[in-house]
Amino acid sequence: MTGGLKVYYVPWRPFVMQNTFPTIYGLLPIIRTILIRERIAVVHGHQAFSTFCHEALMHARTMGYKVVFTDHSLYGFADVGSIHMNKVLQFTLADVTQAICVSHTSKENTVLRSGLPPEKVFVIPNAVDTSMFTPAVDRPKRLEQIVIVVISRLVYRKGVDLLVEVIPEVCRIHPNVSR
């Protein structure tokens, strides 16, 4: 591809949420080949429910590579899926070099779910670069109107349950919220 970007395709069919069935060692030959061929120095994994991520991190650590995991979701502790995923995180991240979260709340959640020491988890805010994007100098003419904009996937782990609770309360307290 242009710019030196290489894409490797794994010959596994996804079965849920675009993730492959966990193989534990099935991806080891492919991951090992890529790490050695491309002279990789650091392996970065992303997304807690990605089986490929967990396998890559596990195999990379076994081979002596430094690994970093990024988490930006707020998974729970009570439902079966979350309980299972938290156990997988504890296993996979037991030997992670460092982790990155996109907020302090996300960091607290990841530390609780994974058992990682807080000093290994860093926060890099997932937000707008305020040096590049600033509020408009000319304010909208209808200052009395409040407009709430949410840019997100409307799923539980992204906080949609909080919106369902908060938005009606905001509308009750502030009648000038645009509906």
Helix (H) or strand (E) holding 87: helix 80-92
- Three-state SS for 43? strand
Residue 2 has pLDDT above 80, yes or no: no
Residues 85 and 158 placed together within one structural domain of the fold: no
Q: What are phi and psi of 44, to 5 degrees?
A: -115, 125
Residues 117 and 158 placed together within one structural domain of the fold: no
Residues 115 and 137 placed together within one structural domain of the fold: no
How many other C-beta atoms are found inside a 10 Å radius of the C-beta of residue 48? 24
Whether 117 and 93 have beta carbons less than 8 Å apart is answered as no
User: Tell me, what DSSP letter sits at residue 71?
Assistant: E
Helix (H) or strand (E) holding 44: strand 42-46
Closest among 75, 71, 95 to 85, alpha carbons compared: 75
Cα-based angle 163, 169, 171 (whole degrees, multiple of 5) = 95
Residues 7 and 89 placed together within one structural domain of the fold: yes
What residue numbers bound the domain in which 119 lies?
2-127
pLDDT in tens, 18-74: 667 777 788 899 899 999 998 999 999 887 777 788 889 999 999 999 999 988 777
Residue, of 13 and 104, whose pLDDT is higher: 104
